[in-house]
Chains A and B, each alone.
Chain A
Amino acid sequence: MSDVIALTDIRRVFIMGDQQFAALKGVTFSVSPGEFVAIMGASGSGKSTCMNILGCLDLPTSGRYLLDGVDVGGLPGDKLAEIRNRRLGFVFQGFNLLARTAAVENVELPLIYAGVPARERRTRALAALEMVGLAGKENNHPSQLSGGQQQRVAIARALVNEPAVILADEPTGNLDSSTSEEIMGLFTTLNRQGITIIMVTHEPDVAAYAGRRITFRDGLIIGDTN
């Protein structure tokens, strides 16, 4: 089976004034469909930088990124937006929900940009909320939900458009350990349903849920174990 994600010699150099900083110095790895990958490494080792490139939010300075066999590098902005919308789902450390907006409306957002009709949007959003165990909370605003619940809303939002890959950058970073376990349980369930998950964490017990661990140090991969 062909890889969902294939990175070849990805480099990312940040330019700040006359200073240059290489956050990624040649990263190569691929992910097969249905894998659950944990990316680990010390703070500042380039994990988020790599995730942003995987998420088509940022472009590498050099190297090749194939998503579903398509080279992302040469695509125009609108095409990247479409990929983010249909192929990828994001879960952030800080949840990144829209404030003063009901849970169900937050979950509907990707469907709005996908042009899904209102009625279908609502059904699918409610189904996604049910799946993450938030049935009955659909009208709560983020401020009326606990951290774990907010992250569940974010996960529902990430999976509502049936993406191939869910990208999660430290999804449990802001949560206590028991809530973290719940979230990881949810990820495991989703992964069993066939969704590829790539997750950044620096907690070994969280990484233990993943089937594969890639370790970064100073912009390079120093370990890749199953």
Chain B
Amino acid sequence: MDFLQTLKIALRALRTNKMRSFLTMLGIIIGIAAVIAMMAVGSGARHVISQQISSIGSNIILVLPGSTTSGGLRTGTGGAQTLTSDDVKAIMAECPSVETAAPSTRSSALLVYGNMNWSTVVMGTTPELFTIREWGVVAGRSMEQQDVDSAAKVCLLGQTVAENLFGSSDPVGKIIRIKKIPFTVVGLLDRKGQSPQGQDQDDAVFVPLRTAQRNLVRTQTPNMVGAVMVKARNEELLGKAEAEIKSLLDQRHRITNGKEPDYSTRNLSEILAVAEQSSRAMSLLLGAVASISLIVGGIGIMNIMLVSVTERTREIGIRMAIGARRNDILLQFLTEAVLLTMIGGITGIILGAVGATVVSSLLSWPTLISVESVSIAFIFSAAVGIFFGFYPARKAASLNPIDALRYE
């Protein structure tokens, strides 16, 4: 018997019991939808995380002024100014696991160019920041050590700032006013996109640290810094670098046993690892839902196919009396089971894709439904059909023609 005919017979059998067929498929639909959603959410999360890692720079530790609570949250919101340029120099000089460190101060200011103005964040920093963050310029030049040493009134613009002050014209060489002080724009930074916290990292202007300390930030002492970004030599040394920084700062700030430190450190890789872990946990959960519902769905299919074989015993007998071979019968019922799971599978794939698209658009993630995941889901649903459909099909095929014909 040709396959087309087998397919036709199977389709007709499924159509005869539409509601039953649909209910039987439901387990597979849910299972496959979960598989698709799981893979899409998982790879979307991984994509976002790896993007964030590369946008921040790798192997980074943040040192912030103010103390921490036991939960690791900073309580002093920049109120305490406890870190100085000297601390940064000491970290660079005395911590062997540290590759480099970049201090920064942060304030907000109104920027004016001609009749355009834009309120943004002004970061005072050193050239190391751009190394650590792997952040280059698309026009002009980056910050140089000399700019810091001489407290030059130069600045680098983030893309968002440049767009709002200059539109599409070239800002390099122009003079803008930051808090009414004239600064020469020496470079335009590359686009960086959103930070892990969802801030626009391109909405900022960067000036030399000392220039900021002297002219823009009101500080108790002249060499205060707001935060320090430290880069470890490599990923393995991240933890060691953090420990070195802590013991150095404890010593410098005279933090003895039991005393609350006046600074805190945050390891960005750890934060991202937590994010990655929770996305993996979500994937695992969906995977569990998927496999359970595929198994339950498969058992449901086996059950319905057994019922169907019993109901159609007479039909099987007629077909055998007319010349159907055992394999024809086996294939007929197997095709029916596989058709059930594959229709369920395709429905599940569509449903999962819609679900994943909704989830990722809510989280503003990219939707990553790969050909790979769709084909895995497809193969899986067919495999469930074959696995759970085989026993009932074999039962049908092994019926004795006479007994089947006599069946009431």
From A58, A110, A114, A118, give the contact of B402 (CB < 8 A): A58
Whether B326 contacts A78 by the Cβ 8 Å rule is yes
Chain A, Cβ-Cβ closest to B404: A57
Min C-beta distance of A172 to chain B, whole Å: 19
A–B pairs, 27, beta carbons within 8 Å: A52-B402, A55-B321, A57-B321, A57-B402, A57-B405, A77-B326, A78-B326, A81-B320, A81-B325, A81-B326, A82-B325, A84-B321, A85-B322, A85-B323, A90-B321, A90-B322, A96-B321, A98-B315, A109-B322, A113-B1, A113-B319, A113-B322, A113-B323, A113-B324, A113-B325, A115-B1, A161-B323
A-B pairs under 8 A by CB, number: 60
Given A113-B1, A113-B319, 9 extra CB contacts under 8 A = A81-B325, A82-B325, A90-B322, A100-B16, A109-B322, A112-B5, A114-B323, A115-B1, A157-B322
Q: Does A124 contact B (CB under 8 A)?
A: no
The 6 lowest CB-CB distance pairs between A and B, nearest first, are: A85-B323, A113-B323, A81-B325, A57-B401, A78-B325, A110-B322
Q: Which residues of A contact B372 (CB under 8 A)?
A: none
Q: Does B14 contact A (CB under 8 A)?
A: no
Q: Does B128 contact A (CB under 8 A)?
A: no
From A78, A96, A115, give the contact of B318 (CB < 8 A): A96
Q: Does A152 contact B (CB under 8 A)?
A: no
Q: How far is the CA of A104 from the CA of B322 in the complex (A)?
A: 15
Which residues from 312 to 333 on chain B have a C-beta closer than 8 Å to any C-beta of chain A? 314-315, 317-328
Min C-beta distance of B370 to chain A, whole Å: 39
Q: Which residues of B contact A97 (CB under 8 A)?
A: 318
Residues of B in contact with A, size category: 20 to 34
- Most chain B beta carbons < 10 A, residue from A52, A84, A96, A112: A112
Whether A113 contacts B328 by the Cβ 8 Å rule is yes
Q: Does B2 contact A (CB under 8 A)?
A: yes
Chain B, Cβ-Cβ closest to A92: B405
Q: Does A213 contact B (CB under 8 A)?
A: no
- Most chain A beta carbons < 10 A, residue from B16, B325, B328: B325
**Contact of A81 with B405 at beta-carbon distance under 8 Å, contacts A98-B315, A100-B16, A112-B1 already known:** no
Q: How far is the CA of A97 from the CA of B322 in the complex (A)?
A: 11
Q: Does A86 contact B (CB under 8 A)?
A: yes
Min C-beta distance of A190 to chain B, whole Å: 18
* Chain A interface, DSSP helix/strand/loop, else mixed: helix
Residues in B lying within 8 Å of A, measured CB to CB? 1-2, 5, 16, 314-315, 317-328, 401-402, 405
Q: Which residues of B contact A114 (CB under 8 A)?
A: 323
Whether A96 contacts B1 by the Cβ 8 Å rule is no
Q: Which residues of A contact B16 (CB under 8 A)?
A: 100
Q: Which residues of A contact B402 (CB under 8 A)?
A: 52, 57-58
Q: How far is the CA of A85 from the CA of B327 in the complex (A)?
A: 15
Whether B401 contacts A110 by the Cβ 8 Å rule is no
Chain A, Cβ-Cβ closest to B5: A112
- Most chain A beta carbons < 10 A, residue from B1, B323, B325: B323
Chain B, Cβ-Cβ closest to A157: B322
Chain A, Cβ-Cβ closest to B320: A81
Q: Which residues of B contact A57 (CB under 8 A)?
A: 320-321, 401-402, 405
Min C-beta distance of B172 to chain A, whole Å: 76
Q: Which residues of B contact A78 (CB under 8 A)?
A: 325-327
Q: Which residues of B contact A109 (CB under 8 A)?
A: 318-319, 322
Q: How far is the CA of A81 from the CA of B320 in the complex (A)?
A: 7
- Most chain A beta carbons < 10 A, residue from B1, B16, B322, B402: B322
Min C-beta distance of B5 to chain A, whole Å: 5
